[in-house]
Amino acid sequence: MEPKFPKDSKTILTDLVLPSETNPLNNLFGGELLARMDRAASIAARRHSRRIVVTASVNHVAFKKSIPLGSVVTVEANLSRAFNSSMEVIIDVWVEDRESGMRSKANDAIYTFVAVDERGMPVPVPELIPETEQEKERYNAALRRKQLSLVLAGKMKPTEATELKALFT
């Protein structure tokens, strides 16, 4: 399997916030935003693996800024790391100011996907090679997040978490 770069799978979805997608305050429903983020992230994971992918976990979601009715929302999904069959995807959500066109970050999230075959069994994915400084930072942080998740789930001993030893010793 040939290694790939984050730019190979980057996914950008842009859409409007419509009345049927808003809460009583006329802001985008959180669940609607979660669905948009899941779609963008799954496309990025599928582009990287070229396999069927399933959402394994939503590791982090931060709703930092409300997104009003009529806003233009852009969801950007980038792979941060590929493991054996799983892939971590970082999602950034941007909202455009209606008058100035200036973009500001509204939300972010981290999802994990697993590549599967037609029977739903995990399959290997290509290695991800980070190029930019931001990609390298996200790549290294992904291993720490994965190890922490495994330790908290009881699937890894704290002493085996090579990237987290300073936290546990």
Domain boundaries, the chain: 6-129, 130-169
Q: In the chain, how long is the greatest CA-to-CA distance?
A: 54
pLDDT at res. 13: 98
- May I ask the CATH architecture of the domain 6-129? Roll (3.10)
pLDDT at res. 32: 97
How far apart are the C-alpha atoms of 80 and 128, rounded to whole Å? 8
For residue 129, name the pLDDT band (cuts at 50, 70, 90).
very high
Does residue 168 have a pLDDT over 80?
no
For residue 98, name the pLDDT band (cuts at 50, 70, 90).
confident
Does residue 167 have a pLDDT over 90?
no
In this prediction the pTM is: 0.91
Does residue 78 have a pLDDT over 90?
yes
Tell me the two tokens of residue 40: 């963008």
* Overall average pLDDT of the 142-169 stretch: 83
Cβ(10)–Cβ(133) under 8 Å? no
The residue behind tokens 């396999």 is 51
Does residue 163 have a pLDDT over 90?
no
The residue behind tokens 């806003």 is 71
Rg of the chain in Å (alpha carbons): 17
For residue 151, name the pLDDT band (cuts at 50, 70, 90).
confident
